[in-house]
A and B are shown apart, each in its own frame.
Chain A
Amino acid sequence: MHVPDGFLDAPTSIVTGVVAAGGVAVALRKARGELDDRTAPMAGLVAAFIFAGQMINFPVGAGTSGHLLGGALAAVLVGPWTGALCLSVVLLVQALFMADGGVTALGTNITLMGLVGCFAGYAVFRLVAAVLPRRTSSVAPAAAIGALVSVPVAASVFTLLFAIGGTAPVEIGAVLTAMLGWHTVIGVGEAVVTGLVVASVVAARPDLVHGARHLVDTQELEIRTAATT
């Protein structure tokens, strides 16, 4: 979903640039609450893995492909604020060194895939996790559903931005229908990858998963109570 230079006009790109800069500034403060000596390396690893995952375009039919966006994945693994920072680093490297996503569209891409992707994915993850049993085995399915929803949500926000500041005179209804349709299918791929990766990490090191850590702590407390009484 990397937006190139030129799709959106200058005023819209400036506004998304300000939104992205503000979001990153807040994330730098809030990520402090998510990161310590143990989880800081996890943030580097998650960002590196998402960069790699975004290189793998999978076909979704009719000559179209999609790839992992990674917002929900990052948010569940390292927390939404740290996740937004991870995605911002990935998008910065892609724009500057890989010519993937425009430099003037960097704010737009950080807003869409970093902020919207992470926070829409994380919000749905928390909602689903709240209704599922409080077990570590619920974390991966909840993350997958968060991922599934995050992609069409980001696609809708792009369409909204395009309706406001698109440079080409195109009928917005057609853009919205096509964007939502394709990105719902891509969201299924996003859900599969996110679910598998989160399940693997939860199986290996649940204590390193932001969205599972409270469940691990609870178990530890139970064991200790039983041991001391």
Chain B
Amino acid sequence: MRSRRFFVVGLLLALVVAGVGSYYASSHPDGLEFVAEETGFLDSADDPKTADSPFADYQTAGVDNDRLSGGLAGVAGVALVLVLAGGLAYAVRRRTPADTSTGPTD
């Protein structure tokens, strides 16, 4: 598979999972939250300091439709993470071809 095609397919998959699939995710508490409740330390959690963020709790502020609200938050998160992690990786990468690199592929 060509690199461009591979990255486009991968990114589309991530966007669909975050933008559409997330609506169907289980709303049960996760393992840690469940254990905290069961063993009695859930109340020691403070309210999140970033609860006023526009995407708090994976919902978009001001969007009433659940499906759209969660989907937008997911897509925004994927885009933000892609840019930050991709940018970071570009910044720290080796600028010259690796010594172990073989062949002129790509």
Q: Is the CB of A4 within 8 A of B46?
A: yes
Q: Is the CB of B88 within 8 A of A89?
A: yes
A167 to B21, CA, bound (A): 36
Closest B residue by C-beta to A63: B28
Chain A residues with CB under 8 Å of B83's CB are 44
Residue A222 lies at the interface, judged by CB distance under 8 Å to chain B? no
Residue B62 lies at the interface, judged by CB distance under 8 Å to chain A? no
Closest A residue by C-beta to B59: A98
Closest B residue by C-beta to A101: B48
Report the minimum CB–CB distance from A96 to chain B (whole Å): 6
Residue B63 lies at the interface, judged by CB distance under 8 Å to chain A? no
> Chain B contact residues: over half helix, strand or loop, or mixed?
helix
Q: Is the CB of A53 within 8 A of B17?
A: yes
Residue B97 lies at the interface, judged by CB distance under 8 Å to chain A? yes
Most buried by B among A4, A31, A52, A182: A52
Residue A127 lies at the interface, judged by CB distance under 8 Å to chain B? no
Q: Is the CB of A48 within 8 A of B36?
A: no
Chain B residues with CB under 8 Å of A43's CB are 85-86, 88-89
Contacts A56-B22, A99-B50 hold; do A45 and B82 have CB atoms under 8 A apart?
Answer: yes
Report the minimum CB–CB distance from A195 to chain B (whole Å): 16
Most buried by B among A45, A62, A96, A186: A45
A89 to B81, CA, bound (A): 6
Question: Residue-by-residue, is B93-104 near A (CB-CB < 8 Å gives 1, otherwise 0)?
Answer: 110011011110
Chain A residues with CB under 8 Å of B28's CB are 57, 59, 63-65
Q: Is the CB of B88 within 8 A of A85?
A: yes
> Chain A contact residues: over half helix, strand or loop, or mixed?
helix
Report the minimum CB–CB distance from B46 to chain A (whole Å): 4
Chain A residues with CB under 8 Å of B89's CB are 31, 35, 39-44, 82, 85
* A47: contacting residue among B26, B45, B51, B82, CB under 8 A: B82
Chain A residues with CB under 8 Å of B40's CB are 168, 170
Residue B38 lies at the interface, judged by CB distance under 8 Å to chain A? yes
Q: Is the CB of A179 within 8 A of B10?
A: no
Residue B44 lies at the interface, judged by CB distance under 8 Å to chain A? yes
Most buried by B among A28, A37, A56, A97: A97
Chain B residues with CB under 8 Å of A204's CB are 1, 6
Most buried by A among B1, B30, B46: B30
Q: Is the CB of B46 within 8 A of A1?
A: no
A92 to B44, CA, bound (A): 22
A50 to B85, CA, bound (A): 11
Binding site for B on A (CB under 8 A): 1-7, 28, 31-33, 35-53, 55-60, 62-67, 82, 85-86, 89-90, 92-100, 102-104, 155, 158, 162, 166-168, 170-171, 174-175, 178-179, 182-183, 186, 204-205, 207-208, 217, 220-221
- Can you identify 10 A-B contacts, CB atoms within 8 angstroms? A41-B3, A45-B10, A49-B17, A51-B18, A51-B77, A53-B17, A55-B58, A96-B53, A179-B31, A179-B35
